[in-house]
Amino acid sequence: MKLTHILIILLALVVAGGGVYLFRPDPNKPTNTDLPPASSPVDNTIAWPPKPSGIKDVQPLKQVVRVTLKTSLGDIKLALDGSRAPKTVGNFVELAENNFYDGTTWHRVIPDFMIQGGDPFSKDQSQRTKHGTGGPGYQFEDEINAQSYGLDKQLLADAVGPAQAAQLPEEAKNMTLQQFYEAQGYRYTTSLESFPMQRGILAMANSGPDSNGSQFFIITAQSTPPLQGKHTPFGIVEAGMDVVDKISMVERDAQDNPLEPVVIQDVLVDRGAVGALQMLPSEEEQP
């Protein structure tokens, strides 16, 4: 059986109304990369991997930029690192300086996981079913170093649960996670160093490989292994993590959209000289 056929059997593409969607970790399962059983039905109307269209060559910005998100629940101060994701930082800054994000809301919030925003459709609360499906009208490529997460060394068979590993065909058992994701359409670089996907990290939301637009999220979980290699991290929260946590805990509907909108009222960009970035301490480093 060819490798591409194996992957089609192993993978199930999650489509949420065409939206930009992050997989929510199940708190009752280990935080590893789970696959559906090989016998799971596959919707054969879906092309895999999806082919992004309208890829834009965005203007890179290689410096560190400080940004303040002024929200209806308080300020969140960010530092964007253009040395790690220059196109992503350049895109975010361009949108922010053109007031793209003003009036948008945090349209998806999940306690102990993340808060997601940046969708222009979220400005209209009468169109809540469209929240999570909007963007700037173009897409741009990922900026991820798989080696930053050890995906080039970790075997697929070691990443999934024992029961699922036993179902892997022989051809797949020696695949690394990087090879597995590359077969899905993800592309990686070794010229940039990626932030860890941990609490306080700002990253791009997407609907698959090279499908970045305007939506982003801030991680509130201590770590998120299932997101590694699939989302471009491009900044950190320097102050206001208490505001992020407050937003993540608001009452929400069945789609995790806050019942009372939490609005991004303004985004202030400071391109001036900044000092060294200070990462939030990990769970192990906290006193």
Task: Tell me whether residue 286 is in a domain.
Answer: no
Number of domains in the chain: 1
Task: Tell me whether residue 173 is in a domain.
Answer: yes
Q: What is the pLDDT of residue 53?
A: 56
Q: What is the DSSP string of 70-94?
A: EETTEEEEEEEETTT-HHHHHHHHH
Q: What is the pLDDT of residue 33?
A: 36
Instruction: Provide the pairing of β-strand 108-110 with 114-117.
Output: antiparallel
The rounded distance, in Å, linking the Cα atoms of 175 and 3 is 10
Q: What is the pLDDT of residue 37?
A: 34
Q: What is the pLDDT of residue 161?
A: 82
- The active-site residue, picked from 206, 212, 228, 257, is 206
- Annotated active-site residue 108? The verdict is yes
Looking up tokens 């609360």 gives 125
Beta-carbon count within 10 A of 285 CB: 8
- Annotated active-site residue 92? The verdict is no
Residue 253's domain comprises 3-51+58-270
Task: Tell me whether residue 39 is in a domain.
Answer: yes
- The active-site residue, picked from 84, 231, 252, 257, is 231
Task: Tell me whether residue 277 is in a domain.
Answer: no
CATH number of 155's domain: 2.40.100.10
Task: Tell me whether residue 154 is in a domain.
Answer: yes
- The active-site residue, picked from 92, 113, 140, 195, is 113
- The active-site residue, picked from 108, 131, 199, 252, is 108
- For the question of whether the overall pTM of this predicted structure is more than 0.85, the answer is no
Task: Tell me whether residue 278 is in a domain.
Answer: no
CA nearest neighbour of 95 among 270, 272, 267 = 267
CB 34 within 8 A of CB 210: no
User: How far out from the chain centre does Cα 177 lie?
Assistant: 17
Task: Tell me whether residue 133 is in a domain.
Answer: yes
- The active-site residue, picked from 131, 227, 228, 252, is 227
Q: Which residues pair with 50 in a beta bridge?
A: none
CA nearest neighbour of 186 among 152, 154, 161, 216 = 152
Consecutive 10-residue runs of the chain (287 residues): their mean pLDDT? 45 40 51 34 36 76 96 98 97 98 98 97 96 95 98 92 85 90 94 97 96 97 95 98 98 97 98 66 47
- Annotated active-site residue 10? The verdict is no
- Annotated active-site residue 227? The verdict is yes
**Alpha helix positions (H), 210-259:** 241-248
- The active-site residue, picked from 217, 234, 252, 257, is 217
Structural element, H or E, at residue 7: helix 3-10
Local structure of residue 229 (DSSP, 8 states) = T
- The active-site residue, picked from 116, 164, 178, 228, is 116
Q: Which residues pair with 104 in a beta bridge?
A: 264
Q: What is the pLDDT of residue 26?
A: 52
Residues 6+ apart with CB under 8 A from 39: none
